[in-house]
Structure 1
Amino acid sequence: MASSAPSLYSFPDAQSLAQSLRSYVLGCQNTAVTRHDVFRVAVSGGSLPSVLAKALLAPGTGSQEDTPRFDKWDIFFADERAVPLDHEDSNYRLLKDELLDKIPADQGTPRVHPIDAEHANDDDPQELADLYQEELMRSFAAKDSVKLPVFDLILLGCGPDGHTCSLFPGHELLREKDAWVACLSDSPKPPPKRITLTLPVVTHALNIAFVATGAGKQTIMKQIFDAEEGRELPSALINHHAGDKVSWFADHPAVNGVAFPKRGNL
């Protein structure tokens, strides 16, 4: 259980949200590169890649602190659908189309870790999950045995049901304690076959950021932050277990009526 609360930032429009998200992400980048010369980040799908692209591809101040250093980025996927990499449901394809293909050459090329496409169409996605966990182990446990990987940053979205990654309300995967990457074949949201980082891996990250925008998120945000019955929702569990490592970037419509204290900037 975390000892302190997450931060909930609320912005009047997409532009101000993107500017603040940029500062936050690049702050995490700079700290990580200074610490160990690499920035290990995991991203989810949905609307997140487009918001991330809006933040990172915008013109900066030109200062070293405000410059993406994509050559230092190791990008993983917080969850992925068991589909080919060029499929319209692929989170890899979404990130590639929205961000990766648009990175200016002078900002470097990130190292990207997609799923093993050869196993994307397997009947059982367990092999896909096992192979992705092995990929994580090569990056996070190459020299030493570690219980859990430590991401510098995990960037997440929040579904209207409170799910995040491919961790869904009431699903048995929320009780997984040992695996780094788990699979499911019964996702309540299509496509049914997916892999996902597990809850212990997400909450073990140094920094966790959610992006939630639009009036359609208002009801679930109230449940996550204000309601007792919302405490077991996946997004709320991350708040609970990771505490002040968690920052939420929301626009005003998404948090209209939310009683939890909101901040205007970082």
Structure 2
Amino acid sequence: MAESPARNAIDWRRVEFWWGDERFLPQGDPERNETQAWDALLSHVDVDPARVHPMAADSGQGAEAAADAYAAEIAASGVRTFDVLMLGVGPDGHVASLFPGYPELAEQDRWAVAVHDSPKPPPTRVSLTFPTLGRSREVWFVVSGEDKADAVAQAVSAAADLPASTPKGLDRTLWLIDDAAAKGLPAAGKS
């Protein structure tokens, strides 16, 4: 997106950025989503830093405190609905840091949770919950790679039981997938 000419069609100073999940690591760690977002896009467009809302880095406060602080920040902001939620999908069908079989999948009351013992590194993360993710006008799944093909096929099926099958946009749910990730879909579903 940072290299696309279409980026100039967006008034980046008016865009609010919120995170769906974060790897609970120290500030500036190259594995943090925040660090990667600044490197890939935010430092290349004219954003208002006050409108960028990353989840807290690990500074010794614990992931539970970071999750509670992020939920409080969202609540204090007055944001009740996100316009666009962009999600990736893991090969196991996880979205954000909501992994298959983990107790955080069932959370209905909290806006954000700590996730421990993640099946992929790092083991500690902070994630928005399904009720919070579901407060989005549009949900865009952006998925690439053949290793995600089975998860994509399962997530879009009528009998889906993966985390990736749960978030739905209030107005629209869109799957943006490459040919490799579409490999498991019926031929009619590919375009």
Give the alignment's TM-score, normalised by structure 1.
Answer: 0.65
1: CA distance, partners of 2:178 / 2:89: 13
Could you tell me which of 72, 90, 96 is aligned with 1:134?
A: 72
Correspondences of 1:151-166 after superposition (within 5 Å): 151-166=82-97
Instruction: Give, as a single letter, the amino acid of the residue that structure 2 aligns with 1:133.
Output: A
Runs of 4+ in 1 over 6 A off after TM superposition: none
Unaligned runs of 5+ in 1: 1-52, 142-148
Correspondences of 1:10-29 after superposition (within 5 Å): none
Over aligned residue pairs, what C-alpha RMSD do you find?
Answer: 2.3
1: CA distance, partners of 2:86 / 2:97: 13
Higher RCO, 1 vs 2 (CA within 8 Å, ≥6 residues apart): 1
Correspondences of 1:211-226 after superposition (within 5 Å): 211-226=142-157
CA 1:185–1:121: 2 relative to 1, 3 Å: farther
Are positions 1:174 and 2:174 aligned together? no
- Matched residue of 1:209: which SS? strand
2: CA distance, partners of 1:233 / 1:260: 22
Shift of 1:115: 2.4
Unaligned runs of 5+ in 2: none
- Matched residue of 1:206: which SS? strand
2: CA distance, partners of 1:78 / 1:134: 14
Instruction: Give, as a single letter, the amino acid of the residue that structure 1 aligns with 2:181.
Output: A
Size of the aligned set, in residue pairs, is 190
Instruction: Give, as a single letter, the amino acid of the residue that structure 2 aligns with 1:112.
Output: V
Could you tell me which of 101, 110, 115 is aligned with 2:55?
A: 115
2: CA distance, partners of 1:248 / 1:191: 27
Are positions 1:58 and 2:21 aligned together? no
Shift of 1:138: 1.7
Counting helix residues as a fraction of each chain, which structure ranks higher? Answer: 1
Residue 40 of structure 1 corresponds to none
CA 1:255–1:121: 2 relative to 1, 3 Å: same
Native 8 Å contact 2:136 2:170 kept in 1: no
Are positions 1:191 and 2:122 aligned together? yes
Are positions 1:101 and 2:43 aligned together? yes
Instruction: Give, as a single letter, the amino acid of the residue that structure 1 aligns with 2:66.
Output: L
2: CA distance, partners of 1:221 / 1:115: 27
Shift of 1:244: 5.8
CA 1:95–1:220: 2 relative to 1, 3 Å: same
Write the deviation string for residues 10-59 of structure 1: whole angstroms up to 9, x where unpaired. xxxxxxxxxxxxxxxxxxxxxxxxxxxxxxxxxxxxxxxxxxx3xx5311
Are positions 1:238 and 2:167 aligned together? yes
Shift of 1:260: 8.0
1: CA distance, partners of 2:75 / 2:187: 38
CA 1:79–1:235: 2 relative to 1, 3 Å: same
Residue 24 of structure 2 corresponds to 82
CA 1:174–1:57: 2 relative to 1, 3 Å: same
Residue 124 of structure 1 corresponds to 62
The structure with the largest alpha-carbon Rg is: 1
Q: State, as a whole percentage, how many aligned pairs show the same letter.
A: 33
Write the deviation string for residues 110-139 of structure 1: whole angstroms up to 9, x where unpaired. 52112234xx14373110111111111121
